Amino acid sequence: MTTFPPGDGPTQSVSVSFHAGTIDAVRDRVGKRGVSAYVENAVQRQIERDALDAVIRDHETRHGKITDEEIAAAEAELYGDGGSARHAA
């Protein structure tokens, strides 16, 4: 069996269940024909987030919990001293 990374390989049909309100909200955003692409993109983002969570858990297991000071320093490096993206409106 060939395995593919998320976003690659041939498409396959699967059956999933969603609440009616969720489907209505998706269709309002992308129309009836855009549902599959919207769900595909959402699942890919969730896979990326799950992988990032695993990296953070591994780091914290080996080095201890990331402190607020470390987060602030990282934000300053990424966004400059003008404030953090987490607190931006």
What is the residue-level pLDDT of the chain in tens, covering all 89 positions? 889 999 999 999 999 999 999 999 999 999 999 999 999 999 999 999 999 999 999 999 999 999 999 999 999 999 987 655 555 54
Our count of domains for the chain comes to 1
State which residues form the domain around 85: 41-89
C-alpha distances (whole Å) from 50 to each of 45, 53, 58, 79, 87 are 9, 5, 12, 24, 23
Report yes or no on 80 lying in a domain. Answer: yes
Report yes or no on 55 lying in a domain. Answer: yes
